[in-house]
Amino acid sequence: MIQVVLPAHLRSLAGIKGDVELEVDGPVTRHSILDALEARYPMLRGTIRDHVEGQRRPMLRFFACGEDVTHESSDAPLPEAVAAGTEPFFIIGAIAGG
Amino acid sequence: MSNVRVLVGTRKGAFILTSDGKREKWDVSGPHFAGWEMYHIKGSPVDPNRIYASQTSGWFGQIIQRSDDGGKTWFQPGTPAGEPTTSPDGMPKGESNKFVYDTSAETGKPLTTHQFYDGTPKPWEFKRVWHLEPSLDEPDVVYAGIEDAALFRSTNGGQTWSELSGLRGHGTGAQWQPGAGGMCLHTIILDPKNRERIYIAISAAGAFRTDDGGATWKPINQGLRSQYIPDPTAEVGHCVHHVAMHPAKSDVLFMQKHWDVMRSDDAGDSWHEISGNLPTDFGFVIDVHAHEPETIYVVPIKSDSEHYPLDGQLRVYRSRTGGNEWEALTKGLPQENCYVNVLRDAMAVDSLDSCGVYFGTTGGQVYASPDAGDTWAPIVRDLPPVLSVEVQTLT
């Protein structure tokens, strides 16, 4: 099971308590994780990737095993530890504040 | 006994304020959607338990929320609580958050760009829903005014949306440009006497009208004068902040422009200034008394570079003559050290016998007057900055 850590606003929007565990078919990539996430929680469609182009929203980033994978190809395989479910895939909003 | 429900959108959530007809004691519910920007919340005139809300975020985009029980519970219309999250054919839902510009040649006369602040062409890009206007007849029909400016309509209770693309495509769209707050379609007025007629306003393009239910549109800005654009009397380019209408006199419109308070007596075909003795005619809100079509309200703001009341005194101005002659309403409002703003969608009236007037501030206060503006008191003082205020009169 893939573990996904969401920003608090998206957890509340989808009614999720804690982190998410997902089954992902085929290679574990950013693309396949987001597809599985949106299929299970359709209310998140459009909140991470825009509806029209499927592009990442500019104030969100993705991390795996301590690495910033935001600008990697969305179809690039994620680290084995994420695919094995021992490390989570992080979706993180840019820090706001002053 | 009638009740009043005030729907308040703020930078960090929505609040619902309720009272009986005396409007002295209030219950406050919220925050709903805590932490999210709630641009606008409005109930259906024909089913007051049906309420639509625009929930937005710079991080996560646009969410449309709906309540069918007067704001007690909410759901995204495409994904009702407790129902399967996919359709029978396995397609994910969540379509209620999807606003896609019409680019079809047949309907959209598709536009690719409008003007940016510096006059250069900029592609149209959806950002958020500023205003939701439920139909006067059908609870499942609702209009959405969006940024970058366009008008959308849902006919299934907010589940899906389609653009009324004749507005962007009527001919002047390529000349529109954003105001400081973005290029937003912020005002939608449905004519109760002519169901085919809709007025809308865009910052900074101007006011527009359709007489065929939204298929075709024309600018209605003759008489507006804006010194901050190259041609002060241009057909489009005016920064209209808000427009209001009394249902009994639907050909009469009142406008708070960037500077200038304006009036039209011919459904927007021509405008004349009614700023009269206002201490400053800059401002954002304008509204009309529920029972007196010639009684109107504005909140003068010092200037476009100083978005707060003159001299630190928060004053609503009322005209009982349809403009030009204005009186300051101060009783119960702070008359020193007050430097808040009142944004364009943050004033509303109820329809009780003694008309109530309400407005919210960027300082988080929501003020109510149960006597048409003669006296005021805060309902709440310390909310996040208020973006919008709407009122439902419940019988």
Q: What average pLDDT is seen over chain A?
A: 91
Provide mean pLDDT across the span B238-261.
Answer: 97
Other C-beta atoms closer than 10 Å to the C-beta of B123 total 11
Q: Which of B150, B144, B205, B217 is nearest to B178 (CA)?
A: B205
Q: Give yes or no for residue B246 having a pLDDT over 60.
A: yes
Average pLDDT for B295-317: 96
Tell me the per-residue pLDDT of B145-204, one tens digit each, with 9 for 90 and over: 999 999 999 999 999 999 999 999 888 998 999 988 899 999 999 999 999 999 999 998
Whether the pTM exceeds 0.90: the reply is yes
More confident residue, B379 or A39: B379
Give the residue from chain B lying closest to A61, CA to CA: B59
* pLDDT at residue B6, rounded to an integer: 98
Q: Which position has the token pair 């109107």?
A: B296
Q: Name the residue facing B94 among A42, A93, A94 (closest C-beta).
A: A42
Mean pLDDT calculated for residue range B78-89: 56
Torsion of CA B47, B48, B50, B51, to 10 degrees: 140
Compute the average pLDDT of residues A83-88.
96
pLDDT at B108 over 70: no
Lowest mean pLDDT among B41-45, B114-118, B265-269, B364-368: B114-118
Q: Specify the amino acid at residue B271.
A: W
Query: In the predicted model, is pLDDT for residue B253 greater than 60?
Result: yes
**Distance in Å, alpha carbon of B129 to nearest chain A alpha carbon:** 14
- Say whether residue B36 is in contact with chain A using an 8 A CB cutoff: yes
For residue B89, pLDDT over 70 is answered with no
Confidence of residue B91 (pLDDT cuts 50, 70, 90): very low
CA distance B377 to B379: 6
When pLDDT is averaged across residues B370-376 and rounded to a whole number, the result is 98
Mutate which of B57, B59, B65 to test chain A, going by most A C-beta atoms within 10 A?
Answer: B59
What does the pLDDT average to over A22-42? 93
Give the distance from residue A78's alpha carbon to the nearest chain B alpha carbon, in angstroms. Answer: 23
Work out the average pLDDT over B364-377.
98
* Chain A residue numbers touching B78 (CB-CB < 8 A): 42
**Which of B92, B97, B126 lies closest to A39 in CB terms?**
B92
pLDDT band at B349 (very low <50, low <70, confident <90, very high): very high
Tell me: pLDDT of B82 over 80.
no
Mutate to test the interface with B, among A41, A47, A50, A92 (most CBs of B within 10 A): A47
B94 pLDDT higher than 80: no
Q: CB within 8 A of B91, min separation 6: which ones?
A: none
Contact B100 A51 (CB under 8 A): yes
- Give pLDDT, residue B88: 54
Residue B93: which pLDDT band, with cuts at 50, 70 and 90?
low
Question: What mean pLDDT comes out for the span B242-248?
Answer: 97
Inter-residue contact A82 to A88 (CB < 8 Å): yes
Give the dihedral of Cα atoms B331, B334, B335, B338; nearest 10 deg.
-150
- Closest residue in B to A58 (Cα) is B59
